Amino acid sequence: MEQDRCVGNQNIHSTLNLDQDKNNLVKFLDRFKYGGLVCLAFELLDINLYDFMKQRHFMPLHLCQIRIITQQMHVALNALKSISLVHADIKPDNIMFINHQSQPFKLKLIDFGLAAPVSALCPGTEMQALGYRAPEVILGLPLNEAVDMWALGCVLAFVYLGQHLYPTECEYEVIKAIVTTEIDDTRAFLSLLKQMLHVDPDRRITPSEALEHRFIKMTHLTSKDNPSPNSTPACSKMQEESTTGVKNYKTSSKAVNWNLVSITTQNSMINHGSIDL
């Protein structure tokens, strides 16, 4: 435990080589011992992003506000990357307002207790809060700075949706949610949905056209950009299951609620023309 604290302290000290204000990182002030414990002193900040969302009853932020958060946190990640340091615990709780009254949406990244040099990462390393854990961490794959980008993406989704993007209870549910929200499949579905909901009846997709759509045919999963030898048999199996195994398919109420939220959000995006299909 003491060794872990020492490593954590070293990683915090490594950020001193950066301009902490310019790079939106919490400012380290001092360290001292008290009662046999090593204490670290940081600048006084305001509320964290999670508590801020909680105060607003998790009402989603506007895109103009999310853009400000996105820019500042990418500056922070770029700075950490320049010194080959991975934060490893990015979540709303670890992003704090400096002073939301006088400097609205001026933020800093805090808590480097789990930070580690990229060279020290190895498959199987435990890191990140579950709902913000990158798939390569869960699956025991090689790790690098990209785990922080995944976590930040989940944070931005959280403030956009007003709820966690992925489940926060077990790794299996996280991986299941990641797989079922695979971007190409989602885009294909939204493309079909947009054509089905066209306001001009003459331009609305017909049943025969819909049956040839890439979402039904799964051609987007077997294109030249996806050369995996497993993709074609996998798609065939999925098509078979979709036509013959529907009666055996069971979905938990939680999964249903999850999908309804996703569809509602994406439908709103379609109606406002914010998705490039």
Q: How far apart are CA 173 and CA 178, in angstroms?
A: 9
Q: How far apart are CA 277 and CA 18, in angstroms?
A: 41
The answer to whether residues 108 and 47 touch, using CB atoms and an 8 Å cutoff, is no
Number of Cβ within 10 Å of residue 103's Cβ equals 11
Instruction: Copy the structure tokens of residue 256.
Output: 């249903």
* pTM, 2 dp: 0.67
Q: pLDDT tens digits for 211-255?
A: 888 888 877 665 555 444 545 554 554 455 445 444 444 443 344
- Provide the residue ranges of all domains of the chain, joining segments of one domain with +: 2-165, 181-240+252-271
Active-site hit among 89, 111, 202, 225: 89
Q: pLDDT tens digits for 243-267?
A: 544 444 444 334 434 444 444 444 4
Chain-centre distance of CA 255, in angstroms?
Answer: 19
Higher-scoring residue by pLDDT: 83, 202: 83
CATH of 2-165, one of 3.30.360.10, 1.10.510.10, 3.40.50.720, 2.60.40.10: 1.10.510.10
Number of Cβ within 10 Å of residue 245's Cβ equals 10
| 89 carries an active-site annotation | yes
* 134 CB burial (10 A radius; 0-12, 13-18, 19+): buried
